[in-house]
């Protein structure tokens, strides 16, 4: 049966004697839609899970089929017409109904089945791109023929080598170059997807796919860019000092002259230069995790949430999750961490490749943050369509906020990660944290978001993609490639989200700012502790506050919820206060050094 016809039959109106009011009609429509949506979504999630944890052509085919069926529901011409009609009569509908209809509209815009060929091509291209991304064989060294791989490597190994304190700059360069090899394999797929994503969004009168995604915040793209610009302005003086410090430290580490301008990208401890862990001498957390089992990391992360009064994770999480690395020869799986709300109810799982180090420690907390959020709003009072973060950045910020708490010194001592006799230097400890959070913002709000805005809203020609990527990396991050990068390469394409979570990345920037607002509020107003030495492990009050916030899902306007929860709209003030001791400290450290990159 064709999906549209099926839906027209399934979503028929109640045949009551009296004519139903518009509110009643809308409620019935939403009810029927939600039922079909949940079923189709669950089937698509199950198929995607299989395709992401065991990349084979067969699993990719099933994912394509299940996603097409889901698109048949969400983008059915009947759904589009009905929703359009209801949204035209907004004043006759209550707020909760409107919020759900708005979501039905945005979901329809992803796959409008009144242009079925475009939708079919998009669904197939998305699925293929994910398979290419998830199964790419990284290679650290080529055989003498220049083709065969003499030394296969993995994403975890690349991350580990780049983040190590090794002074061998040649190895850094080899691994950095290896990490960029997926770009050319992914570029043709992204060229096609950019066109298809824009086509669906424009069919719904959004200026571009970027604008469609930003609409989930009830904002226009220029409003979003202005909000991010103001965050970037706020952090600029601190970032410039951090950049200067890092440049000189790295030059020392690699026995190289200090560059006048940007930092060479292969010197940095992350392949996209998005976070700079391990740069602060004396603050390297990795050794403290070396003797731990990866299982301990996840259990400890769960323990953080349960200590605040959250229920333990359900059995299905432990049974179905895929949390540890597997050799590519055994099975190819997506190595980027993710959390899955399989049935929009209590069936949850996470995909990770946890190794015992500080990076996975934070990531495990981040992912469990998503899972506890899913479970908190999966309750009968929250309709299926509003079982979501109050906004996307709440979801990203929540687990990250717990990760801030999980790297506070008192907590690390309490759970035995930091030995009792370990002495720490508070300034350096704080600087190491800034190397994650502050350093992340020019990447997230700067390079990534501007590049994706240009990609979609600016229809950036493919022969400018690499040059634009590096222009933004230089402008926002002060980072330059080690050698010229031509347009046959695609360094932006190597970033996971650009392929499989498009036009989303500003969400992490907002989440970063928001998590310090939440953290500040919990520490100062609930626990009466100083945010830089604040421990909410075991705090029921912190847990009750968070559970109440999460349990609302997306039933309320996010700005209103923010004002009610942390007392203001998005503000970088708590984050800047948190890191405030660093500015003077770094100015002293950098005294006499040549700083800047412009
Ligand atoms: O993708 C993630 C999470 C999954 S939502 C692991 N993050 C971004 C990234 O890795 O690029 C978390 C921080 C930024
Ligand atoms: Zn996340």
Write down the domain spans for the chain: 3-114, 121-282+427-502, 286-424+507-589
Question: Which atom of ligand 1 is nearest to 396's Cα?
Answer: 5
User: For a pocket test of ligand 1, which of 508, 510, 513, 514 has the largest count of ligand atoms closer than 8 A to its C-beta?
Assistant: 508
State both tokens at 31: 């009810």
- Indicate if ligand 1 lies below 6 Å from the C-beta of 515: no
What pLDDT is recorded for position 15? Answer: 52
The position carrying tokens 């609409």 is 215
Q: How far does Cα 301 stand from its chain's mean position?
A: 19
> By alpha-carbon position, which residue is closest to atom 3 of ligand 1?
337
CA 178, 183, 185, 186 torsion-angle sign: positive
Angle at the Cα of 547 from the Cα atoms of 541 and 550, rounded to 5 degrees: 145
| 8 A C-beta contact, residue 284 and residue 165 | yes
- Indicate if ligand 1 lies below 6 Å from the C-beta of 430: no
> By alpha-carbon position, which residue is closest to atom 7 of ligand 1?
508
Q: Whole-angstrom Cα distance, residue 546 to residue 569? A: 18
SS3 readout for 266-307: HHCCCCCCCCCCCCCCCCCCHHHHCCCCHHHHHHHHHHHHHH
Residue 317 sits at φ, ψ, to 5 deg, of: -60, -50
**Helices 22-53 and 77-88: angle between axes, nearest 10 degrees:** 140
Interstrand relation of 263-264 and 479-480 (parallel, antiparallel or unpaired): parallel
Closest CA to 209 of 296, 287, 141, 118: 118
What residues does 322 pair with on adjacent strands?
351
**41, 121, 403 from 371: Cα distances, Å:** 17, 32, 14
| 8 A C-beta contact, residue 479 and residue 422 | no
Q: Whole-angstrom Cα distance, residue 166 to residue 407? A: 24
Q: How far is the CA of 367 from the centre of ligand 2 (A)?
A: 6
Question: Which atom of ligand 1 is nearest to 370's Cα?
Answer: 5
Q: Whole-angstrom Cα distance, residue 234 to residue 587? A: 17
User: For a pocket test of ligand 1, which of 179, 363, 365, 451 has the largest count of ligand atoms closer than 8 A to its C-beta?
Assistant: 363
CATH code for 121-282+427-502?
1.10.1370.10
Question: Which atom of ligand 1 is nearest to 363's Cα?
Answer: 6
DSSP assignment, residue 322? Answer: B
User: For a pocket test of ligand 1, which of 394, 396, 440 has the largest count of ligand atoms closer than 8 A to its C-beta?
Assistant: 396
CB atoms near residue 348 (< 10 Å): 24
- Indicate if ligand 1 lies below 6 Å from the C-beta of 363: yes
Q: Whole-angstrom Cα distance, residue 372 to residue 576? A: 28
Q: Whole-angstrom Cα distance, residue 431 to residue 451? A: 28
Q: Whole-angstrom Cα distance, residue 305 to residue 402? A: 8
- Indicate if ligand 1 lies below 6 Å from the C-beta of 337: yes
Q: How far is the CA of 83 from the centre of ligand 1 (A)?
A: 33
What pLDDT is recorded for position 194? Answer: 98
Q: Where are the alpha helices (DSSP H) in 314-464?
A: 315-320, 358-377, 392-405, 409-414, 426-441, 449-456
| 8 A C-beta contact, residue 359 and residue 161 | no
- Indicate if ligand 1 lies below 6 Å from the C-beta of 338: yes
CB atoms near residue 102 (< 10 Å): 17
State the DSSP H helix or E strand holding residue 149, giving kind and residue range, or none if neither: strand 149-152
Q: Whole-angstrom Cα distance, residue 442 to residue 453? A: 15
State both tokens at 390: 């109050």
What pLDDT is recorded for position 2? Answer: 42
> By alpha-carbon position, which residue is closest to atom 2 of ligand 1?
337
Q: Whole-angstrom Cα distance, residue 490 to residue 414? A: 45
* Ligand with smallest separation from the Cα of 359: 1
Closest CA to 164 of 176, 155, 172: 172
CATH code for 286-424+507-589?
1.10.1370.30
Start-to-end Cα distance in the chain: 61
Q: How far is the CA of 46 from the centre of ligand 2 (A)?
A: 19
| 8 A C-beta contact, residue 109 and residue 204 | yes
Q: How far is the CA of 154 from the centre of ligand 1 (A)?
A: 18
Q: How far is the CA of 258 from the centre of ligand 2 (A)?
A: 36
Would you write out the chain's pLDDT as a tens digit for each of its 598 residues? 444 444 554 554 455 568 899 999 999 999 999 999 999 999 999 999 999 999 999 999 999 999 999 999 999 999 999 999 999 999 999 999 999 999 999 999 999 999 999 999 999 999 999 999 999 999 999 999 989 999 999 999 999 999 998 999 999 999 999 999 999 999 999 999 999 999 999 999 999 999 999 999 999 999 999 999 999 999 999 999 999 999 999 999 999 999 999 999 999 999 999 999 999 988 888 989 999 999 999 999 999 999 999 999 999 999 999 999 999 899 999 999 999 999 999 999 999 999 999 999 999 999 999 999 999 999 999 999 999 999 999 999 998 999 898 888 888 998 899 988 888 899 999 999 999 999 999 999 999 999 999 999 999 999 999 999 999 999 999 999 999 999 999 999 999 999 999 999 999 999 999 999 999 999 999 999 999 999 999 999 999 999 999 999 999 999 999 999 999 999 999 999 999 999 999 999 999 999 999 8
- Domains 121-282+427-502 and 286-424+507-589 equal at CATH topology level: yes
* Ligand with smallest separation from the Cα of 353: 1
Q: How far is the CA of 363 from the centre of ligand 1 (A)?
A: 8
Residues 6+ apart with CB under 8 A from 561: 390, 549, 552
| 8 A C-beta contact, residue 349 and residue 320 | yes
pTM value?
Answer: 0.96
Q: Whole-angstrom Cα distance, residue 148 to residue 403? A: 41
CB atoms near residue 552 (< 10 Å): 18
What pLDDT is recorded for position 282? Answer: 85
């Amino acid at each position: 049966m064709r999906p549209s016809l099926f839906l027209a039959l399934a979503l028929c109106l109640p045949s009551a004697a009296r004519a139903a009011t518009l509110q009643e009609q809308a409620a019935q429509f939403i009810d029927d839609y939600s039922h079909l949506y949940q079923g189709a979504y669950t089937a698509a999630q199950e198929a995607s899970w299989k395709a992401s944890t065991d990349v084979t052509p067969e699993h990719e085919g099933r994912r394509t089929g299940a996603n097409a069926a889901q698109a048949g529901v969400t983008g059915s011409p009947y759904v589009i017409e009905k929703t359009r009609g209801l949204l035209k009569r907004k004043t006759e509908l209550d707020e909760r109904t409107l919020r759900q209809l708005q979501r039905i509209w945005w979901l329809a815009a992803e796959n409008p089945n009144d242009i079925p060929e475009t939708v079919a091509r998009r669904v197939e291209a998305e699925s293929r791109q994910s398979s290419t991304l998830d199964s790419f064989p990284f290679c650290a060294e080529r055989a003498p023929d220049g083709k065969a791989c003499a030394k296969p490597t993995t994403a975890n190994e690349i991350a580990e080598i780049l983040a190590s304190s090794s002074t061998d700059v040649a190895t850094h360069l080899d691994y950095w170059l290896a990490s960029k090899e997926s770009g050319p394999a992914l570029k043709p797929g992204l060229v096609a997807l950019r066109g298809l994503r824009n086509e669906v969004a424009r069919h719904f009168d959004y200026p571009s796919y970027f604008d469609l995604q930003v609409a989930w915040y009830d904002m226009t793209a220029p409003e979003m860019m202005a909000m991010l610009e103001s965050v970037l302005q706020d952090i600029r003086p601190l970032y410039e000092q951090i950049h200067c410090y890092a440049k000189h430290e790295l030059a020392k580490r690699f026995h190289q002259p200090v560059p006048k301008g940007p930092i060479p990208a292969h010197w940095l401890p992350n392949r996209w230069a998005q976070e700079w862990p391990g740069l602060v001498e004396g603050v390297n957390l990795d050794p403290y995790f070396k003797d731990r089992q990866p299982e301990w990391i996840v259990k400890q992360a769960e323990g953080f949430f349960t200590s605040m009064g959250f229920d333990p994770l359900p059995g299905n999480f432990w049974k179905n999750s895929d949390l540890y690395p597997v050799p590519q020869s055994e099975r190819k799986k997506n190595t980027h961490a993710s959390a899955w709300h399989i049935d929009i109810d209590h069936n949850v799982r996470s995909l990770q490749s946890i190794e015992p180090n500080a990076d996975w420690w934070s990531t495990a907390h981040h992912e469990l943050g998503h899972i506890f959020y899913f479970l908190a709003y999966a309750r009968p009072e929250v309709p299926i369509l509003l079982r979501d973060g109050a906004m996307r950045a709440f979801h990203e910020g929540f687990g990250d906020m717990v990760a801030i708490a999980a790297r506070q010194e008192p907590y690390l001592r309490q759970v035995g990660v930091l030995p009792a006799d370990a002495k720490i230097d508070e300034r350096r400890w704080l600087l190491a944290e800034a190397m994650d959070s502050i350093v992340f913002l020019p990447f997230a709000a700067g390079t990534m978001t501007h590049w994706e805005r240009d990609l979609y809203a600016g229809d950036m020609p493919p022969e400018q993609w690499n040059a634009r990527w590096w222009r933004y990396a230089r402008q926002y991050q002060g980072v330059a490639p080690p050698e010229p990068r031509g347009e046959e390469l695609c360094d932006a394409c190597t970033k996971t989200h650009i392929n499989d979570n498009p036009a989303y990345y500003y969400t992490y920037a907002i989440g970063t700012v928001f998590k310090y607002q939440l953290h500040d509020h919990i520490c100062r107003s609930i626990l009466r502790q100083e945010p830089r030495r604040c421990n909410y492990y075991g705090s029921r009050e912190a847990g009750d506050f968070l559970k109440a916030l999460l349990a609302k899902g997306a039933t309320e306007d996010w700005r209103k919820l923010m004002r009610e929860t942390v007392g203001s709209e998005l503000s970088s003030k708590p984050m800047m206060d948190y890191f405030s001791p660093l500015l003077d400290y770094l100015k002293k450290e950098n005294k006499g050094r040549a700083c800047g990159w412009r």
